[in-house]
Amino acid sequence: MQKLRNSRAFRADWSKLRAIQDKRSILLITICCLTLAILGSLQLLSIKRINRAQHEQALVAAQGSLRVLNRSLRREVSHLLTVFRAEPRWDPAERARRLAERYFVWHESSANGPAIHHILLYDSLGRTPSRLQQLKLPESRLEPVGSGQSYKDLAARLQSNVSLHRKRMDPQWLSTWLYYPDFSALVRPVGTLGQELGNGGEPEMSFAGYLVLQLDVEYISRHILPGHLGVHLFNLKDDLQVDVAFVVDGDVTHLFRLEEVDMSARAGASKSASRYRYALAADGHRLGARWVESADARRRILLSGISVPRVVASVGGVQRVALRSVSPNPALIEFARYRPNRKRSPEGRVGEVRMLPFTPERPRVFLAAGRPRRLEVALRHVDGSLEGALAAQGRRILALGTGLFLLVGAAMALVVVSLRRAAHLAKVRLEFAAAVSHELRTPVAAIRAMGDNIAEGILGTGKQALRYGELIRNEAQRLSEMTEQTLNFVALDAGSERYEVVPLDVSAVVDEAVAYAQPIAARAGFVLERADGADIPPVLADETALRQSLRNLLSNAVKYGLPGRWVKLESTTSSKSERREVEISVHDRGPGIPAKEQRSIFEPYYRAVGASDSNVPGSGLGLNLAKRMVHRMGGRLTLRSVPGQGSVFTIHLPAAG
């Protein structure tokens, strides 16, 4: 069997089989890599399609949200104008109280009372010393306005329009408002009823002045607009932060960044309070056309392109503001009629609740400016664009997926390598079992034969019997060594071997190793030399493990030391490293070890090709056991070998103290 394994034909066939196995492994790894590449390409295409679909979906959602926002703003304006609808039957003396009631209705029904900064009344009939008066809340009385320049300019503007109204006013004017952006004011005519016409006709209505609602633009910008943005654009946020800007003729007037702040977690926050707050950019007016052009979604709001009636244009109207086509439900608006002797405020409601009657005319409002304007709301991602943000998100997902694919590929490669290593280890173990069986068969057979001869008295008591006894002792020693090495290997693998590292005298251990190897070297015809350096200090080692390691090295030197038949055991002291070491070297003049085999020489069960060819007995465990035992003691085992000149195995151990 051993001869068959060592034959050239067997080795050639085995090399071919290993080559086929290597090709199969390479083919399997190639197939796995191609599979991962195909899956990665499919993943890339899928991510691109998902990004494209997400981009289109985000744009559709943005356009829909802006459309809903526009309807919400139109509804808010329509609601305000409806609450302050005209009522020509009011007694002029009761006009202040009536307007105060309308303000409270607005405050209660919309919760946006502070949006109206001042309520002014311009009296064109000249019944008061100052024609422009301000409504004082909660006293419900009219007082002359201050002497500020803005009030003077507003009064002059209104005075210039008085002559344009006829004395007999069309009822349609009572629902017609003009918005003056220079004064942030909504203005509509006020009419009074005169004498009734004959034959049961309606009373004649005369022009009496203007009602002015001066808006607080700062409050609207910081409170009302962010609230509407949060309600209608929050579905766009999710993981994408967007900026929303109000644009007038291409220039950004107000910029909002949708930054979520959980208000419900703050102490004292009411349950009805808005849960989210949105920040207003302080330098929004500095953004220009470039920001608007790069917006992801834009929509014109409020200001319409419908032509203005000639009669409205005659008093300054240049553009119509689009309102909701349906007025607010009158059943939803209530107001309190307060007692005249009690102070009234939006916070304290006193009196009976009554329904607010409505006029059938739907309010209409026109922009009174030098030219028509273009008011838009634009939405853009904070990083530049929705497409870029979604592309970055896709790249992150792709990187994550690629990393997972690489991990899977590495795991597959490790599995293939592990399988190959396991197959190789299994093959080597089988060879080890076969070699050990062969090694055990010879000494066991010899011991049995010689034992039978001695038992049958064939040998007698002469020299032949002594020679047989010596053979039995040598073969038994071989069996003992093989058994000891196998047990040591199993103990090291199981981790059950415990070493007692103590200071040891190197000379004593080396003497014992020489005594052990001397008979083996003599039988093999080897010369065993010993050389000790001066002042060799004690070493930190386990005596049994060190003795076994030296025995294994000396046995290998004798087995593989041909043709030199010379072995040398040398002890020296070295200070090359940071700590002082003692080096115990075993030299031989054998064929040496090729460089490609020097890495594998310390692996378990490994036997060099030359050893198999020359039928050198062994199990392939000696060097592995020696290296592992030296390492467990805190040392190291090194090799220097030159093919054709011999090898040197050196044990490096730390010096004690």
Query: CA end-to-end span of the chain, whole Å?
Result: 53
Beta bridge partners of 135: 142
Nearest to 534 by CA among 485, 572, 496, 497: 572
Between CA 514 and CA 521, with CA 515 as vertex, the angle to 5 degrees is 70
CA dist 210 and 133 (Å) reads: 11
CA dist 84 and 602 (Å) reads: 100
Q: Tell me, yes or no, whether 625 lies in a domain.
A: yes
CA dist 472 and 469 (Å) reads: 5
573 and 495 within one domain = yes
Q: Tell me, yes or no, whether 441 lies in a domain.
A: no
Q: Tell me, yes or no, whether 306 lies in a domain.
A: no
The pLDDT mean for the chain works out to 75
Q: Write out pLDDT tens, residues 461-483.
A: 667 776 777 777 667 766 766 66
Q: Tell me, yes or no, whether 496 lies in a domain.
A: yes
429 and 556 within one domain = no
Q: How confident is the model at residue 485 (pLDDT cuts 50, 70, 90)?
A: low
648 and 506 within one domain = yes
491 and 578 within one domain = yes
Q: Tell me, yes or no, whether 497 lies in a domain.
A: yes
Q: What's the Cα-to-Cα distance from 224 to each of 56, 69, 116, 513, 599, rounded to whole Å? A: 30, 12, 12, 97, 79
Q: Tell me, yes or no, whether 531 lies in a domain.
A: yes
488 and 586 within one domain = yes
Residue 198 has pLDDT above 60, yes or no: no
Q: Tell me, yes or no, whether 638 lies in a domain.
A: yes
Q: How confident is the model at residue 585 (pLDDT cuts 50, 70, 90)?
A: very high
617 and 484 within one domain = yes
Residue 354 has pLDDT above 60, yes or no: no
* Range in 172-186, 337-351, 495-509 the model is least confident about: 337-351
Q: Write out pLDDT tens, residues 89-125.
A: 777 788 888 888 888 888 888 878 888 989 998 888 7
489 and 408 within one domain = no
629 and 514 within one domain = yes
Number of C-alpha atoms within 13 angstroms, CB side, residue 340? 5
Q: Write out pLDDT tens, residues 213-260.
A: 999 988 888 888 888 887 777 555 555 677 888 888 888 888 887 665
Packing angle, helices 543-560 and 463-494, rounded to 10: 120
CB-based contacts of 584, cutoff 8 Å, min separation 6 = 506, 510, 550, 569, 570, 571, 650, 651, 653
400 and 518 within one domain = no
Question: What is the arithmetic mean of pLDDT over 616-633?
Answer: 78
Q: Of 369, 404, 436, which residue constitutes the final position of a domain?
A: 436
For the chain, the domain total comes to 2
pLDDT at res. 649: 94
Tokens of 28: 């399997």
pLDDT at res. 336: 37
DSSP state of 90: S
Q: Write out pLDDT tens, residues 443-466.
A: 766 776 776 666 566 666 667 776
Instruction: Write out the residue range of the structural domain in which residue 36 sits.
Output: 2-60+389-436
Q: Tell me, yes or no, whether 367 lies in a domain.
A: no
pLDDT at res. 18: 63
Question: What is the arithmetic mean of pLDDT over 171-191?
Answer: 87
Quote the percentage of the chain above a pLDDT of 90.
9
Residue 592, domain CATH: 3.30.565.10
Burial class of residue 270 in the structure, from the number of CB atoms within 10 Å of its CB (0-12 exposed, 13-18 middle, 19+ buried): exposed
Q: What's the Cα-to-Cα distance from 5 to each of 14, 422, 620, 639, rounded to whole Å? A: 9, 22, 16, 29
Contact 187, 70 (CB under 8 A): no
Residue 338 has pLDDT above 90, yes or no: no
Residue 388 has pLDDT above 60, yes or no: yes
596 and 490 within one domain = yes
More reliable by pLDDT, 375 or 128: 375
626 and 519 within one domain = yes
pLDDT at res. 287: 72
643 and 510 within one domain = yes
